[in-house]
Amino acid sequence: MSEQAIVTGRPVSISGTGSYLPEKVLTNHDLEKLVETSDDWITTRTGIKERRIAAEGECTSDMATKAALRALEQAGIEGADLNLIIVATITPDTLTPATACYVQRKLGAMKAVAFDVSAACSGFLYAMEIAHSCIATGAFDNALIIGAEKLSAFINWQDRNTCVLFGDGSGAAVMRASPNGHRRVLASHLGTDGEQTELLNIPGGGAACPITLDNVERRLATLAMQGREVFKHAVTAMRQAAELAIAKAGLTIADINLVIPHQANLRIIQAISERLGVTEDQVFVNLHRYGNTSAAAVAIALDEANRSGAIKENDRVLLIAFGAGLTWASAVIEW
């Protein structure tokens, strides 16, 4: 298990956010027709009511670009002015090149360095930390970070253990060196536990298990999860990550106005909220509408909280994520 602390340097802020959700809605009642499940089971066990599914031919880079354009517009900068693009995804358009390269082309951001980060549901906060470090040290002046997923392409639609949980979507943020210090990232914390790779993975389709007719038939290129185990790890790791980032920022939980957790399961969110000692109205939740969108989840929630006015000026916002790897991450932002 390895953990990492934030670098210091010049202040870095979030100068714009954006998100995109595909139009097609798949409800719990729709899923009742696909597998042996019920709206009641999904709602009580997860809190999810519906999720979005990408259109035919719509790929991760398309969704990433749409969220990015909204973030760029809010930040008041053009794609052509970007220095760095990081896409966090576990559902890339292609194994190579990186989805970030397609996004660079679609945005006309030809001066930017572009690459992907694979850290599952923690990916957007991993990207935030990398961008933060790159800007804080002066290596780059700005960065576009994106969490984007087309999980519907990697779901076994006959497996009720997983197919009811996930959805498609994207969220983005523009980060910049910030002389005035507004919307500043105060601290963050990342962690990884490679001892637990088997708990949540897509076993086929990589070099360890290349695509063959046989493993396609065995559906090895779809997401597999030991839900109950992942649940326990998620509660412990997210709580610890939250406490460490808050401490690094020199704050206590009483200083946090809004918590934006990874949107996997309402019961996980409730367990963490209880352990941290925050009330329900201090926690941003949208998983009932989108399900678990992996790397996109915290990014979409951050944008919705920003645009809806749930985040007020000078608020301290705590972001927390957890996912396959296992990976976890947290960040504290002063808005």
Q: Which residues bind ligand UT7 (CB under 6 A)?
A: 37, 41-42, 45-46, 121, 160-161, 164, 227-228, 230-231, 234, 264-265, 268, 292, 322-323
| Shortest separation between residue 291's beta carbon and ligand UT7, angstroms | 10
Shortest-Cβ-distance residue relative to ligand UT7? 227
In whole angstroms, what is the distance from residue 41 CA to residue 331 CA? 33
Is 189 tagged catalytic?
Answer: no
Instruction: Considering the candidates 142, 163, 262, 306, report the single residue annotated as catalytic.
Output: 262
Backbone angles phi, psi at 256, to 5 degrees: -90, 130
Q: Rounded to an integer, what distance in angstroms lies between the CA atom of residue 101 and that of residue 281?
A: 39
Whole-number minimum distance, CB 163 to ligand UT7, in Å? 8
Is 121 one of the catalytic residues? Answer: yes
Contact of 107 with 137, CB cutoff 8 Å:
no
Question: Closest separation between CB of residue 202 and ligand UT7, Å?
Answer: 13
Instruction: Tell me whether residue 28 or residue 188 sits nearer to ligand UT7 (CB atom).
Output: 28
How far apart, in whole angstroms, are the C-alpha atoms of residue 85 and residue 72?
A: 12
Catalytic residue among 121, 163, 189, 265: 121
Per-position b or e across 62-74, b if 16+ CB within 10 A of its CB: bbbbbbbbbbbeb
- Give the nearer residue to ligand UT7 in terms of CB position, either 45 or 184: 45
CA distances from 120 to 88, 156, 313, 315 (A): 8, 18, 30, 28
Q: Residue 322 CB, nearest distance to ligand UT7 (Å)?
A: 6
CA atoms within 13 A on the CB side of 141: 5
Helices (H), 83-226: 99-107, 123-136, 160-163, 213-217
Which residue, 107 or 164, has its beta carbon nearer to ligand UT7?
A: 164
The residue written with tokens 């990398």 in the block is: 130
Given the complex with ligand UT7, which of 45 and 275 has the nearer CB atom?
A: 45
Catalytic residue (choose from 142, 286, 292, 306): 292
Only one residue has tokens 């109950």, namely 228
Per-residue DSSP letter, 116: E
Nearer to ligand UT7, 68 or 326 (CB): 326
Q: CB of 230: closest distance to ligand UT7 in angstroms?
A: 4
Q: Is 292 a catalytic residue?
A: yes
**Catalytic residue IDs:** 121, 262, 292
